[in-house]
Amino acid sequence: MAVVCDLSAHETIESVVTGIIEVHGAIDILDNNAGTIWGAPAEEHPLDGWKKVFDLNVTGLFVLTQAVGRHSMLRTGRGRILNIASVEGLVGIDPRHMKTIAYNASKGAVVNMTRALAAE
């Protein structure tokens, strides 16, 4: 059963997670596959756009992962988390395409968050 959760609504994530666990007992697999983009050259990129991208792509992913870990995976001692990032989080983007500095930076953050979580 797939459940969709709005990762930009941080205040609802905990209740979504606990609701799933109440019905199913545990969460065995978490597929973090969210992303938003804002195209603008770095020198013109609005701070609101930067915050929107990071709020969903990084903070939302973290809050959901933290809730699933705390309420299910750490409690049961099992589970798998799949974080979907982007090659643009590793190498940036060809400058001939749309300029997406916030997206690239946020997906780089997801790559390194995944490494840090794996190490923990």
User: Which residue ranges make up each domain of the chain?
Assistant: 10-119
What is the per-residue pLDDT for 19? Answer: 94
Most confident of 24-28, 36-40, 95-99: 24-28
What is the per-residue pLDDT for 1? Answer: 66
Q: Compute the distance between CA of residue 42 and CA of residue 22 in angstroms, rounded to an integer.
A: 45
103 classed as catalytic: yes
Residue that wins the pLDDT comparison between 4 and 72: 72
Region of 68 on the Ramachandran plot (φ > 0 left; ψ -120 to 50 alpha; else beta): alpha
User: Residue 53: which residues within 8 A CB-CB, separation 6 or more?
Assistant: 36, 37, 38, 102, 103, 106
- Identify the H or E element spanning 30: strand 29-32
Q: Which of 17, 86, 103, 106 is catalytic?
A: 103
**pLDDT tens digits for 33-56?**
989 989 899 999 999 999 999 999
Residue that wins the pLDDT comparison between 24 and 97: 24
What is the per-residue pLDDT for 21? Answer: 96
Residue that wins the pLDDT comparison between 114 and 89: 114
- Average pLDDT of span 12-39: 93
User: Residue 15: which residues within 8 A CB-CB, separation 6 or more?
Assistant: none
Domain 10-119 adopts which CATH fold? Answer: Rossmann fold (3.40.50)
Query: What is the DSSP-derived secondary structure letter of residue 57?
Result: I
Please tell me the pTM assigned to this model. 0.90
